[in-house]
Amino acid sequence: MRAWIICLAAAVFLPQPSLAASMGDPASGKNLAERWCSSCHLVSAEQATATTEAPPFATIAERPPEELEKLDLFIADPHPPMPQLNLSRNEISDLVAYIASLKGSD
C-alpha cells in the first residue's frame, strides 16, 4: 500500500514533460516544415506568404492539447487536400514538436 501511495504522489507532484519535449526535436521539425509544408502552410514568422486554405502552424499550435496529441496520427494518414508525405515516425514527431513549440508565439 505504501509503495502505491509513493507512486501516486510521484505522478502528481513530479514535473511532467511538456508536449513538445516528449515528442521530438523542434529544430528538425522546423526544417521539415520549411521543406514540406511551407507551400501551403505559414510555418514560421519569417515566411511571407502561404495559401489561405491551410491554417498557419501558429494557429494549429493554439489548439487544445488533446488535439495536438492526435496531430501525429493526422500527419501520418492525412485526408485530402493534404498530400501524403510519407514521413517517418521520427520526422512526424519532430514536426509535431515544432508545431507545439509555437504555442503562444502569435
Delimit the domains of the chain by residue range. 18-101
Angle between helix 65-76 and helix 89-101 axes, rounded to 10 deg: 150
Residue at grid coordinates 505522478 = 11
Assessment of whether the complete model's pTM goes beyond 0.85: no
Q: For 6-52, how does the pLDDT look when each residue is reduced to its tens digit (9 = 90+)?
A: 444 444 444 444 444 456 999 999 999 999 999 999 999 899 888 88
User: Quick one: average pLDDT of 65-87?
Assistant: 88
Q: Has domain 18-101 been given CATH number 1.10.760.10? A: yes
Q: What are phi and psi of 89, to 5 degrees?
A: -60, -40
Choose the weakest-confidence range: 3-12, 38-47, 73-82, 84-93.
Answer: 3-12
- Per-residue pLDDT for 81 more than 80? yes
